[in-house]
Structure 1
Amino acid sequence: MMTFDELGLIPALLEAITARGFETPTPIQAEMIPFLLNEERDVTGLAQTGTGKTAAFGLPILQKIDISKAKTQALILAPTRELCQQVSRDISEYGKKIKGLRTATIYGGAAFGPQIRDLRGGAHVVTATPGRLKDLLDKGIADLSNLKYLVLDEADQMLDMGFKDELDAILESASDDRNTLLFSATMPHDVARIAKNYMTNPHEIVAGEKNKGISTVSHNFYRVHASDKYSALRRLIDVQSSIYGIVFCRTRDSVKDIASRLGRDGYAADALHGELSQVQRESVMGRFRQGNPSLLIATDVAARGLDVDNLTHVIHFDLPDETAVYNHRSGRTGRAGKTGSSLALVHMREGHRIRRIEKVLGRRIEEAKIPGGKEICEARLMNLIDRVTEVEVNDDAIAPYLDDVREKLDGMERETLLRKFVSVEFNRFLKEYGNAPDLNPPPAPKRTRRDSEYFGGSEGGGNFQRGGRSSGGMVKLRVNLGRRQSVLPPQLIGLVNQATHTRNIRLGRIDINTDWSDIQVEASMADQVEKSLRGFDYRGMKIRVERGAESREPRESRGHSSGSSAAYPSKGRRSSNKNRQWKKRKG
């Protein structure tokens, strides 16, 4: 196995590496460090955050700059102030044994004065965000004429954040004799444009595969009804023996809502979103970096620049709109050789998005079941036992209290003590999950080519018949459940099963709209179904029913008998929609 000693680094850098506890280089470090030490050439690096790329470019740059010249010789551009500060700290740590090294950190939202003094003081390495550096260039303060290295760190994110014009201006003003190093997790069109316009015959170094996920991260998704997503999130958290992770939501309102609900339910969680002031933002991120709280609920934009190495989980409460964002999110865990988990809660109609992500990742995202109550209780119990068996005992610290403890427990049977000990922490989970319902939705029926006529060519409708041969007439019942409540025909059939306590109701066509659905029921059974559904509780909603006039079923329709709740298609023409009058009933 290769060591840092074999890469050609000077003793001052090797000493700093050892002080930080690093022993062996990551793949991108093993390839890039000797290349940059021996070649004067542009480089594109395809690498996720957490692969060690800061050391990969930072160490050779520190070795090759001329400390005797008080000029800016290396510029590192980062998308956010947090990442800018993190990279600058890393560079300073690696170079702390290099006598006379000066660095500067340039970012917006801070006073200009100290940053101007650092630049005019002859900082050898400058780490900056594009916006603030462009301001200082316009003021004639920043000087890039002596630049030997220009690094674009997380170029795709900088472009996503709208820094195209600033990057163009900085690249145009930089020395023509520089080497440009571009790093990106993905290679979209705008990043490729920069490489084409501002780089010369770049050498490509890839950590993993282009646009692919990190191999140390496992990926799972969970199908769930929209109304059950928060409950499913809690179960994913509770079933873990320990979790240190980020929960990603699409909007700031969702972030605030989820963080607030978790707090009320006894979880330690902070919210990170765009409405926070910079002081609040830094406070939230500072606490999270310390592991208290262990959960951060965040939007993608707000979490940019948050750099934490030991995350165990990333949870996608909402799938992102862009596949590359899923890759960025998931890449926050499984770093530095550690394993991590990426878990996605998937709305019933988002299966196609999982397939699209799989295609880009080049790997399968396994579907998993939302943990049940028994599974969670067992996991928490085993976690408690593990903590007890692994705890380190400080005999000196507890010795003064042991006599009092023995006195209080005197006379208690061993078995009674064991049960009480387990119950101290376990009762909460028994109360919460002892009789918890199954949140896993029933599997959607697999469709064949012939199914198209039964589903009307869409996801929202279909002809379903059960319970034997029809007597001919069908009545349409309209219920206040639709796409907004994430129902599909199987859920509506299950609703009829539950409400009527039978599986022998003969159903016809089901049409699903945004806020309501029409269910055709055999006329002889319509009264029973209507009475059973009216006021029935479905996932916290009271069912309302409206009834349409009776219509005749097409003569060619055939029924299929079954003792299960599965749907069976009806062949033949659709019944006419003409001259139907709705009679609204109270309920």
Structure 2
Amino acid sequence: MSTFRQLGIPADLVKGLDELGIITPTEVQARSIPYLLKSGGDFVAQAQTGTGKTAAFGLPLITKIDPKAKQIQGLVIAPTRELAKQIAKQIFRYTKYYGEKIFVETLTGGEPMEKQIANLQRPTHIVVATPGRLLDLLKKKALTLIHVKHLVLDEADEMLSMGFKKELVSIFGLTRQRRSTWLFSATFPDSLQTLVKGSMHSQPEMLKVDKAHVVNQNIDHRYAVCGKDEKNEFISEFLDDHADERGLIFVRTKAGAIALGRQLEKFGIPVDVIQGDLSQRERDKVLRGFRNKRTRILIATDVAARGIDVEGLSFVIHYQLPEQFEYYTHRSGRTARAGKKGTSIALIDPRERKKIAKFEEALGVDFTEMG
């Protein structure tokens, strides 16, 4: 098993990783970092939530920055405000012991634009942004991308599914002088393949993580057979039995998430619900309470949960199995972070047993039935 130093990461960055408890490289890190450090050319990698992709591109990106040049040299694009803030925070943490200071700025919606414009007057080496806010600030001439050498797209498939194709094409056009494009994505739909072919300078290095490494190996996958009316009772009993643990419950629809939240509160279980109808202010309040451990259980829809990364979650419960295999990986990847173990529980009705077999085959995992 390689270490980060063996992969080529400088000792002062490794010191920062050690302090964060990031000791052993994940599969995507071990296979991405050497290429990105040495070549730094165009690169495409499959990387699910929870596989350590931020370090996979963040560490090499730091080494590509010239601290003496007070210009934006690295640009990271993420689909959501939460993910962008998490990426920026991690990159900042990595640089704690790193020679000369690397300055990182986050540009997302939901924050005062005037404050972001003022912050951009300071030296900035790396910008982490959501597509819409970045283009809004460019229109106001609050920043320039003419010195960007390295462009990173994280969760590129999510950005396309959220309707950001036009914005991404604009960003590619505004960074034509870049030396490289690094793209990380859980899936590669035709629309993303077309975008890659039309926007990268050269044939990219491709990394396809074996499916056995796509799903976090520290997750215990289980399922429970429940009738429709039995699911709430199962969840209530499970939460009572695991009263000291925190977790996420995924529901397919907004209405379903709200209804489950009300039902669990009737059982005396305090929960919060995050779904697409919340305003940014309401969403921030819910997430702040969850991160600060004021709330133990969070109920979420797949869309509303994009970008959520909270440490210390012991379990994920799937109120219904998702429609796509990739969504299961995204969901379950919220637990077992930073080398810890976690549990992913799918609640199914008796007719869905065949679905479990399909998920096992597609994801290379084994599910255990709960008694």
Q: TM-score, normalised by structure 1?
A: 0.59
Number of the residue aligned with 1:146? 147
Partner residue of 1:326 out of 328, 342, 355: 328
1:8 alignment partner AA: G
Q: Secondary structure at the match of 2:303?
A: helix
How far apart are the structure 2 equivalents of 1:290 and 1:206?
36
1:424-573 equivalences in 2 (<5 Å): none
Kindly indicate whether residue 248 of structure 2 is the aligned counterpart of residue 246 of structure 1.
Answer: yes
Kindly indicate whether residue 327 of structure 2 is the aligned counterpart of residue 297 of structure 1.
Answer: no
Number of the residue aligned with 1:65? 65
1:129-162 CA-to-partner distances (Å, cap 9, x unmatched) read 0111122233444422221111111112212222
Query: Does the C-alpha gap of structure 1 residues 111 and 188 become closer, same or farther in structure 2, counting only changes over 3 Å?
Result: same
1:23 alignment partner AA: I
Query: Does the C-alpha gap of structure 1 residues 228 and 18 become closer, same or farther in structure 2, counting only changes over 3 Å?
Result: closer
Query: Does the C-alpha gap of structure 1 residues 86 and 292 become closer, same or farther in structure 2, counting only changes over 3 Å?
Result: same
Number of the residue aligned with 1:25? 25
Number of the residue aligned with 2:289? 287
Kindly indicate whether residue 104 of structure 2 is the aligned counterpart of residue 81 of structure 1.
Answer: no
Deviation at 1:207, TM superposition (A): 4.4
Q: Secondary structure at the match of 1:9?
A: coil
1:333-482 equivalences in 2 (<5 Å): 333-369=335-371
Contact 1:105 1:126 in 2 (8 A): yes
Q: Secondary structure at the match of 1:183?
A: strand
Kindly indicate whether residue 205 of structure 2 is the aligned counterpart of residue 203 of structure 1.
Answer: yes
Query: Does the C-alpha gap of structure 1 residues 218 and 190 become closer, same or farther in structure 2, counting only changes over 3 Å?
Result: farther
Query: Does the C-alpha gap of structure 1 residues 283 and 253 become closer, same or farther in structure 2, counting only changes over 3 Å?
Result: same
Q: Which moved more, 1:149-158 or 1:346-355?
A: 346-355
Deviation at 1:355, TM superposition (A): 4.2
How far apart are the structure 2 equivalents of 1:324 and 1:20?
28
How far apart are the structure 2 equivalents of 1:210 and 1:181?
23
Contact 1:313 1:341 in 2 (8 A): yes
Deviation at 1:122, TM superposition (A): 4.1
Number of the residue aligned with 2:156? 155
Contact 1:244 1:295 in 2 (8 A): yes
Number of the residue aligned with 1:217? 219
Number of the residue aligned with 2:54? 54
Q: Secondary structure at the match of 1:300?
A: coil
Contact 2:48 2:214 in 1 (8 A): no
1:341-395 CA-to-partner distances (Å, cap 9, x unmatched) read 21111134444543443342234434433xxxxxxxxxxxxxxxxxxxxxxxxxx
How far apart are the structure 1 equivalents of 2:246 and 2:353?
27
How far apart are the structure 2 equivalents of 1:60 and 1:40?
8
Number of the residue aligned with 1:277? 279
Contact 1:323 1:356 in 2 (8 A): no
How far apart are the structure 1 equivalents of 2:307 and 2:178?
30
Number of the residue aligned with 1:171? 172
Q: Secondary structure at the match of 1:341?
A: strand
Contact 1:314 1:332 in 2 (8 A): yes
Flag the structure with larger Rg.
1
Number of the residue aligned with 2:104? 103
How far apart are the structure 1 equivalents of 2:193 and 2:359?
21
Structure 2, unmatched stretches of 5+, are none
Kindly indicate whether residue 93 of structure 2 is the aligned counterpart of residue 93 of structure 1.
Answer: yes
Contact 1:102 1:125 in 2 (8 A): yes
Number of the residue aligned with 1:384? none
How far apart are the structure 2 equivalents of 1:210 and 1:132?
37
Number of the residue aligned with 1:389? none
Contact 2:49 2:329 in 1 (8 A): no
Partner residue of 2:229 out of 219, 224, 227: 227
Q: RMSD value over aligned CA atoms?
A: 2.4
Contact 1:334 1:340 in 2 (8 A): yes
1:515-541 CA-to-partner distances (Å, cap 9, x unmatched) read xxxxxxxxxxxxxxxxxxxxxxxxxxx
Deviation at 1:212, TM superposition (A): 4.5
Q: TM-score, normalised by structure 2?
A: 0.90
1:123 alignment partner AA: T
Q: Secondary structure at the match of 1:360?
A: helix
How far apart are the structure 2 equivalents of 1:278 and 1:320?
25
Query: Does the C-alpha gap of structure 1 residues 189 and 311 become closer, same or farther in structure 2, counting only changes over 3 Å?
Result: farther
Contact 2:50 2:216 in 1 (8 A): no
Deviation at 1:276, TM superposition (A): 2.7
How far apart are the structure 1 equivalents of 2:254 and 2:53?
31
1:157 alignment partner AA: E
Query: Does the C-alpha gap of structure 1 residues 4 and 214 become closer, same or farther in structure 2, counting only changes over 3 Å?
Result: closer
How far apart are the structure 1 equivalents of 2:210 and 2:352?
28
Contact 1:185 1:211 in 2 (8 A): no
How far apart are the structure 2 equivalents of 1:242 and 1:206?
38
How far apart are the structure 2 equivalents of 1:245 and 1:353?
24
Contact 1:78 1:154 in 2 (8 A): yes
Number of the residue aligned with 2:16? 16
1:55-81 CA-to-partner distances (Å, cap 9, x unmatched) read 221112112211222221100111110
How far apart are the structure 1 equivalents of 2:33 and 2:215?
23
Q: Secondary structure at the match of 1:301?
A: coil
1:448-476 CA-to-partner distances (Å, cap 9, x unmatched) read xxxxxxxxxxxxxxxxxxxxxxxxxxxxx
1:191-246 CA-to-partner distances (Å, cap 9, x unmatched) read 32232222322222344428953322222222222122211222333344743210
How far apart are the structure 2 equivalents of 1:311 and 1:289?
10
Structure 1, unmatched stretches of 5+, are 370-587
Number of the residue aligned with 2:42? 42
2:12 alignment partner AA: A
Query: Does the C-alpha gap of structure 1 residues 223 and 111 become closer, same or farther in structure 2, counting only changes over 3 Å?
Result: same
Query: Does the C-alpha gap of structure 1 residues 153 and 220 become closer, same or farther in structure 2, counting only changes over 3 Å?
Result: same
How far apart are the structure 2 equivalents of 1:22 and 1:246?
24
Contact 2:320 2:347 in 1 (8 A): yes
Number of the residue aligned with 2:258? 256
How far apart are the structure 2 equivalents of 1:211 and 1:100?
35
Q: Secondary structure at the match of 2:335?
A: coil
Query: Does the C-alpha gap of structure 1 residues 156 and 315 become closer, same or farther in structure 2, counting only changes over 3 Å?
Result: same
How far apart are the structure 2 equivalents of 1:358 and 1:321?
14
2:247 alignment partner AA: G
Contact 2:236 2:267 in 1 (8 A): no
2:182 alignment partner AA: L
Contact 1:137 1:143 in 2 (8 A): yes
Count residues in correspondence.
369
How far apart are the structure 1 equivalents of 2:70 and 2:15?
24
How far apart are the structure 1 equivalents of 2:360 and 2:167?
34
Query: Does the C-alpha gap of structure 1 residues 18 and 213 become closer, same or farther in structure 2, counting only changes over 3 Å?
Result: closer
